[in-house]
Structure 1
């Protein structure tokens, strides 16, 4: 079998990153091996090292891919017209808190892995950058023009609501769809709608 072209190599790399992102989201970084990823991509483990220096390098790219995907969705929701900023942010929170096993939050999925890394590691930096972008987008949802400034920190209320939203999602994933989790979700959505 002949070597693949440069274009095919780029397509293969993108496919590996996308599949890795999904698997790492679903199972966690430590539970997924390079062999698992390559088998799901229909490629050999030996081919992995033609694209990536290490699993860590792939995790960094897969994490960045996951955060970019989430950021795109959040911006789409917050970019709708004809609704107030409060309504848009409440809509984002409602969708975020809706149980969906197919849509995992990268903030939650990659947290255990990033937490186990030293400050300055590429995995920690990718996590920080991705989470900061989501926080900025969430905070911008309350700004009259939909923007935030690096010079100004997000509004303290937006910070609390962001943390409450993430926390409610963690509780929902850990405890399931029990009544008290529903009450927590409802309280968070109501708090966002009043903001």
Structure 2
């Protein structure tokens, strides 16, 4: 009986922890790291502020987990595109999905690099570590779609591709003119498609 009660408590705590991290992963993309407070996250997750330290040692620990989840969700979306697209069309499909109006409008569910890029350099080491791993994995995923995969040129081209994708999305979200936003996305897409054989 005691084991059943302990298992139920552990499962409830794990579910609460996952809810906090999921809420925080959306919040950091929507409001930035500095705009994401513990009290707001706990309230949005339906939990008391006091319960926070039962789950995390610090706000930075929560932000690192939230960044990790946001990066994992972004990576899963890209991997899904690759898995369900013919190999010779995978990169093109990824670029179209990433540099789309829909992605630009879905800030809290979209790419964490575009949502948080300018803030990340000022975050705790554990947050930067998560971001670094995600960037390296994404560069690798892009490079693997190249016919030159395995050669230095494919890696370098992937670095430029990712930089262009993230920069264009950041700028498209930053401007207050819909036509300019779309032009930024379209120009980046056109350039990247032309530069990838």
Using structure 2 for the length normalisation, give the TM-score: 0.83
1:18-167 to structure 2, matched below 5 A, reads 18-82=22-86, 84=88, 87-100=89-102, 101-102=105-106, 103-117=109-123, 121-143=125-147, 154-167=154-167
Unaligned 5+ runs, structure 2 = none
Q: Give the Cα separation in 1 of the matches to 2:153 and 2:10.
A: 44
Q: Distance in 1 between matches of 2:168 and 2:23?
A: 27
**Other-structure match for 2:182:** 182
Q: Distance in 2 between matches of 1:67 and 1:190?
A: 26
Instruction: Count the aligned residue pairs.
Output: 186
1:10 alignment partner in structure 2? 14
Asked if structure 2 preserves the Cα contact closer than 8 Å seen for 1:63 and 1:110, the reply is no
Contact 2:173 2:181 in 1 (8 A): no
Secondary structure, aligned partner of 1:110: helix
Given that 2:71 and 2:134 are in contact with CA atoms closer than 8 Å, whether structure 1 keeps it comes out as yes
CA offset digits 1:78-108 (Å, max 9, x no partner): 2224351xx3212211111213333332112
Q: Residues 189 and 108 from structure 1, CA distance in 2 versus in 1: closer, same or farther, beyond 3 angstroms?
A: closer
Kindly report the root-mean-square deviation, in angstroms, between the aligned alpha carbons of the 2 structures: 2.4
CA contact (8 A) 2:140 2:158 kept: no
User: CA, structure 1 residues 113+181, in 2 after alignment: closer, same or farther (shift >3 Å)?
Assistant: closer
Quick one: distance in 2 between partners of 1:136 and 1:6? Answer: 37
User: Which residue of 2 is the match for residue 191 of structure 1?
Assistant: 191
Deviations 1:147-174 (A, max 9, x none): x66x958432222222111111111011
Structure 1 stretches of 5 or more lacking a match?
none
Secondary structure, counterpart of 1:52 in structure 2: coil
- TM-score, length basis structure 1: 0.84
State the distance in 2 between where 1:34 and 1:135 align: 32
Q: Separation in 1 of the partners of 2:86 and 2:101? A: 27
SS of equivalent to 2:110: coil
Secondary structure in 1 aligned to 2:33?
coil
